[in-house]
Chains A and B, each alone.
Chain A
Amino acid sequence: MKATAGNWSPDEENVYFIASSTGNLDNDSHDHILIAVNEIMTEGGLDVIKRFISEGKSVLLDSGIFNLTNEHVRKHGVTMDQALALPPDEIDGFDKLYKRYREIIDEIGDKVWGYIELDQGGRENKIITRQKLERTGCRPMPVYHPLNDGWDYFDYLAKRYDRICFGNIVQADRPTRLRLIHTAWERKKKYPKLWIHLLGMTANQWLLALPINSCDSSSWISSLRWGTLNAPAANAPFSNMASEYIYRRDVPTDHPGGWDKANALCAYNAHFRQEVWRSALRDRREHL
């Protein structure tokens, strides 16, 4: 069994990571954050992450492959699946991303909660890249793509690693997504110590029934993007908040009704998604 790197604890309760840019994540209301390498290509960006770590935040480092393939899709007019399937040496910018990924891991790899592998090019290429990283002392979390890899590869990873990520399920429609999570939950029973992280998945009502260990999403920041903020119950959409809870754009960002406060309220709402998730699972464990 290979131990993936990071300062995580297998005994930790379920975790919801909020994903975004460093600017959006710079608040005190939730302490589990996911940041992708493409967001910290500069030393200034990395300094912000170091500050987050010094403030006690748990940082999950994403490789930035999703952004890389998206850029390739836009530039070359191929589909996301086609771009993801390309070997690393055929996708624009892989070498630059790999170099930056290594630099960041060398600096903070043992201080983050974990880091996700460079999951480019299908299972064979993912294995090659991961083994290359492992030979140099990196211990990334492997990514399993249920829509592409075959369930035998899930077992391959589950037998070898303490943590794996479920990738790309956001590409699937909702019924398929739910079915994949169901299947993952059933399969996980064979590997009770395996930690599964769902990439791009909000801690929603599904995960009260299928309590996979952790997840992340960027949807926590809805009021800043859409001008709507939903208050959930049991982590399902319940009711929107009135427009008086949405920030004003005609005032400085640090105004009491401005962007900074709205950002913090989004993170606060996300923090309580995680706490509600944990609360519901504890209630079930104790009373069912």
Chain B
Amino acid sequence: MPLRIKQMATNALKPYERNANVHPENQIRQIANSIREFGFNNPILVDADGGIIAGHGRYEAALSIGLEKVPTVCLDHLTDEEKRQYIIADNKIAQNAYWDERMLASELQLLNNNFDLMGFEEGEAETLMLENIDTSDMPDTMEDTIDKGSLLQLTSVAVGEPKNKVFHGQHWKLGGSHDLLIRSVISESQYWRELLFDNSMFCPYPNPLTALSIKAESYHLLLVQPDTYIAGHMLDQYEAVKGTGSVVLIQ
């Protein structure tokens, strides 16, 4: 039986209420970005009543970016039991593939951009490439921009005893927004858990650069580091880049 693509209104589609495949918010965002960039190229599979059989993530992504219509393919030849089996099979069988990581890394090396659009978390693609590519053959892909090196100049790279002396139990504020607690991650959550807000990112065992990263510009970071040497360096590094007075002891 030939399959035909039909545009359907998103409000006519019905998600399967017993769908066991969960789409995290971040994945929905990635799918939405992919649709925006590449188009809606993978139709949602539905039954004769508009019930979604496969494509719940794409459906949610379409809603998130306000699409009123989406491409669908109607599978009206399946029985109810076959539909339920296929809803699982469509996801489960896909999971049984695996990546040829060397090939993937090689492809990413050639593309070297838009890793987020391809579904990678920040740093994930770079790590994959570094672990799988013989760097002796690597082309120089970096492009200079006018601002390169301006903050690198300010960083501290000394690894001796830190200038800022910190002690267990202290609470520091970085840049007026981020919280650094010199506490155990494992057994002292009573001292820091109330510092987690809607816009917070929890950073257990951060390194000295964590509070200067790109995410630190848009999120409140809750940094919990029990080691005084690392924490001292985190304060030194922050002050080196942001200036004297940018770190303050709260208690």
Contact = CB atoms under 8 A, between A and B. Distances in A.
Partners in one complex: yes
Interface stretch (B39-47, B84-92, B169-177, B202-210): B202-210
Given A70-B134, A170-B131, A175-B98, A238 B210 contact: yes
Interface in A210-236: 217-219, 222, 225-235
B119 to A, nearest CB: 14
Interface residues of A, number: 68
Nearest to A255: B149
Contacts of A261: 149, 152-153, 155, 157
Contacts of A234: 203-206
Given A28-B159, A240-B126, 4 more contacts: A218-B130, A265-B155, A276-B230, A286-B184
B249 interface: no
Interface of B: 98-101, 112, 121-124, 126-127, 129-132, 134-135, 138, 141-145, 147-153, 155-159, 184-187, 203-210, 212-216, 225-227, 229-230, 233
A250 B213 contact: no
A174 B126 contact: no
B204 A233 contact: yes
Interface of A: 27-30, 70, 170, 173-175, 200, 202, 204, 208, 217-219, 222, 225-235, 237-251, 255-258, 261-262, 264-265, 267-269, 271-273, 275-276, 278-280, 282-284, 286-288
B135 to A, nearest CB: 6
Nearest to A264: B157
B186 A283 contact: yes
A230 B212 CA distance: 11
A227 B233 CA distance: 24
26 contacts: A170-B131, A170-B132, A173-B98, A174-B99, A219-B127, A226-B126, A226-B129, A226-B141, A227-B141, A228-B126, A231-B210, A233-B206, A234-B203, A239-B123, A239-B215, A241-B209, A246-B142, A256-B152, A258-B149, A271-B159, A276-B207, A279-B225, A279-B226, A280-B204, A280-B205, A287-B184
